């Protein structure tokens, strides 16, 4: 999937070999076959963008839109929890840009990235089964011991935001599981393995026929910021910078608004 890595420093070369084993299974390609730079791809520049899993649907569409505007560039995405993406960057996985679902994760990689820019914001909702069979109406309802609640792990941005809003209300919730990204939380609710879970409103919106979204009042909610940055070890820093800049363009912002994301 990836070309040889002449741009990796000696310190990173061995780590990159291990990191690719983590990176490869997570990669979902936007608008192409994901081959290495120029390999069987008409000489196009290929970018690998590590992106938070909550961006899966909108970035798949954004990648196609970007490629249409920039026919000489192909964009491949690897979606995972922000903490997993950070680990990939630290291990030297070959990539060109990073978009996380929170600023602390990005700030923790300041030595590895260019200057980040927030491209969107998001909010939390309570996802329940279709029709809300357990009649969940508020965060307080999640404390019911009879309710099967699933949350993201506190190391994950959405898990940290969830803990923040629950702690602020002095609510103790005992989840049946803690997941490694927001899509896994949503999946548990979709499959009926959990009665409720806290997810981003944009994730709940991707499954309107399978889950209901219970609004969390503004005064009890948390705002998630999504910073994007180029990676200093990128072999295509100019092209990566162009893509990051494009994410704040009117066309990209229109796609983000349509998916339910808020303005930066």
Give the residue numbers spanning the domain of 71: 10-121+225-258
On whether residue 3 sits in a domain, the answer given is no
Same domain, 114 and 231: yes
23 has a pLDDT exceeding 70: no
Q: Please write the tens of the pLDDT for every residue from 35-72.
A: 344 444 567 899 999 999 999 999 999 999 999 999 99
3-class secondary structure per residue, the chain: CCCCCCCCCHHHHHHHHHHHHHHHHHEEEECCCCCCCCCCCCCCEEEEEEEEHHHHHHHHHHHHHHHHHCCCEEEEEEEECHHHHHHHHHCCCCCCEEECCCHHHHHCCCCCECCCEEEEEEEEEEEEECCCCCCCCCHHHHHCCCCCEEEECCCCHHHHHHHHHHHHCCCCCCCCEEECCHHHHHHHHHCCCCCEEEEEHHHHCCCCCCEEEEECCHHHCCEEEEEEEEECCCCCHHHHHHHHHHCCCHHHHHHHHHCCCECC
On whether residue 107 sits in a domain, the answer given is yes
Q: Please write the tens of the pLDDT for every residue from 146-196.
A: 999 999 999 999 999 999 999 999 999 999 999 999 999 999 999 999 999
On whether residue 198 sits in a domain, the answer given is yes
Residue 132 sits in a domain whose CATH number is 3.40.190.10
Question: How would residue 1 be classed by pLDDT, with cut points 50, 70 and 90?
Answer: very low
Provide the pLDDT for residue 42. 62
pTM for the whole thing? 0.82
On whether residue 1 sits in a domain, the answer given is no
Provide the pLDDT for residue 244. 98
Q: Please write the tens of the pLDDT for every residue from 176-185.
A: 999 999 999 9
Same domain, 194 and 167: yes
Same domain, 156 and 55: no
Q: Please write the tens of the pLDDT for every residue from 250-262.
A: 999 999 999 999 9
Same domain, 115 and 235: yes
């Amino acid at each position: 999937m990836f070309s040889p890595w002449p741009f990796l420093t000696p310190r990173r070369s061995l780590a990159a070999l291990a990191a690719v084993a983590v990176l490869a299974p997570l990669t979902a390609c936007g608008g192409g076959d994901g081959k290495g730079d120029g390999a069987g791809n008409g000489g196009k520049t290929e970018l690998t963008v590590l992106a938070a899993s909550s961006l899966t649907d909108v970035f798949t569409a954004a990648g196609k839109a970007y490629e249409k505007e920039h026919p000489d560039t192909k964009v491949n995405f690897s979606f995972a929890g922000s903490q997993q993406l950070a680990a990939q960057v630290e291990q030297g996985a070959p990539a060109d840009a990073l978009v996380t679902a929170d600023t602390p994760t990005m700030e923790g990689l300041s030595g590895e990235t260019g200057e980040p820019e927030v491209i969107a914001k998001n909010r939390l909702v309570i996802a329940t089964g279709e029709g809300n069979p357990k009649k969940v109406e508020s965060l307080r309802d999640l404390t019911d011991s009879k309710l099967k609640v699933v949350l993201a792990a506190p190391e994950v941005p959405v898990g940290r935001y969830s803990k923040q809003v629950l702690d602020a209300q002095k609510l103790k919730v005992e989840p049946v599981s803690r997941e490694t990204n927001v899509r896994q939380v949503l999946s548990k609710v979709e499959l009926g393995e959990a009665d409720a879970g806290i997810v981003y409103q944009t994730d709940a919106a991707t499954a309107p026929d399978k889950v209901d979204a219970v609004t969390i009042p503004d005064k009890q909610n948390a705002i998630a910021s999504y910073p994007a940055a180029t990676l200093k070890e990128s072999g295509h820093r100019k092209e990566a910078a162009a893509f990051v800049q494009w994410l704040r363009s009117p066309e990209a912002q229109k796609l983000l608004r349509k998916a339910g994301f808020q303005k930066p």
